[in-house]
A = this chain, B = another copy of it.
Amino acid sequence: MILVTNDDGVYSPGIISLSKVLSKVAEVKVVAPKGAQSSSGMSITFHRPVRISSVKLKNYEATAIGGTPADCVFVSVHKLVKRKNIDMIVSGINIGGNISMQSFFSSGTVSAAMSGCVIGIKAVAFSKEISSEDEYLTEKEFENSAWWAGRIVSYLMKKGFPPGVDLLNVNFPVKTTKTTPVRLTKMAGEMFDDYVVERKDPRGNKYFWLAGTKKVKAEPGTDLFTVLTRSEISITPIGIGSIQPQESSSPELFFRELLG
């Protein structure tokens, strides 16, 4: 069974297109945030109760959770479905790319997938780059990306994941067709020239807007280069276990004066 979630909310055209395609690959259970939860990271709601409701979408029933993407995985695994029955968590298709480490760790879409990985469930995060932050996409515009998502997930359902890989971070370019090339990539480090805008409210008090513009320069082989410069599909394989550096760096030796 595939657990489908996202961070744009249960009514997003991205998750509707994705669910439609994946329901042809395997049994699908859709559990997604009630409202938009972009940039939520792996935030979990421990300090207030979380509401749950059934939502009837076009062709399927979904469960809406009044919380974050990580909450959706948490509630699913512990209340709605048997953990051992979940073959994979698929998150997306996000409206907007989740490219570079900067986006990776703060993305709700990716964090939903990571929430699975930390408890041993393999996962895929799908995101589609958009041409403007204000763009409203329709289901139609996710059609080709969803087709690719179906292909990738059915490939993984048959073959499993490569050794050492817990999660695939997949990003589609603005214009994705059924013949767009697919590349294996590494995550770029930074993607944004972040900035902070300072304003004053009508009472004269200062406030800030956090913002960022996309960088133009990108190293070949990165997700940034592949999706933004080349307009190709990028698959970045992630192994969360290897976030701890290998023995070769000899931290024991480095820290010897501190260690008891």
Which residues from chain A sit less than 8 Å from chain B, CB to CB? 38-47, 49-52, 67-68, 70-71, 74-75, 77-79, 100-102, 104-106, 111, 114-115, 118-120, 151-152, 155, 159, 162-165, 179-184, 186-187, 189-190, 194-196, 198-199, 205-211, 232-233, 235-240, 242-246, 248-252, 254-255, 257-260
Given A40-B41, A251-B162, A70 contacting B257 (CB threshold 8 A): no
Interface of A is mostly: mixed
Instruction: Write out the residue numbers on chain B whose beta carbons fall within 8 Å of the beta carbon of A180.
Output: 260
Q: How far is the CA of A151 from the CA of B259 in the complex (A)?
A: 12
Closest to A77 in B: B194
Would you call A43 and B106 a contact (CB within 8 A)?
Answer: yes
Instruction: Write out the residue numbers on chain B whose beta carbons fall within 8 Å of the beta carbon of A164.
Output: 245-246, 248-249
Given A50-B208, A79-B196, A196-B74, A244 contacting B238 (CB threshold 8 A): yes
Instruction: Write out the residue numbers on chain B whose beta carbons fall within 8 Å of the beta carbon of A208.
Output: 49-52, 75, 79
Q: How far is the CA of A195 from the CA of B165 in the complex (A)?
A: 27
Which listed residue (B50, B198, B209, B237) contacts A244, Cβ 8 A? B237
Would you call B105 and A114 a contact (CB within 8 A)?
Answer: yes
Would you call B155 and A257 a contact (CB within 8 A)?
Answer: yes
Instruction: Write out the residue numbers on chain B whose beta carbons fall within 8 Å of the beta carbon of A186.
Output: 244
Instruction: Write out the residue numbers on chain B whose beta carbons fall within 8 Å of the beta carbon of A182.
Output: 255, 258-260
Instruction: Write out the residue numbers on chain B whose beta carbons fall within 8 Å of the beta carbon of A43.
Output: 39-41, 43, 106
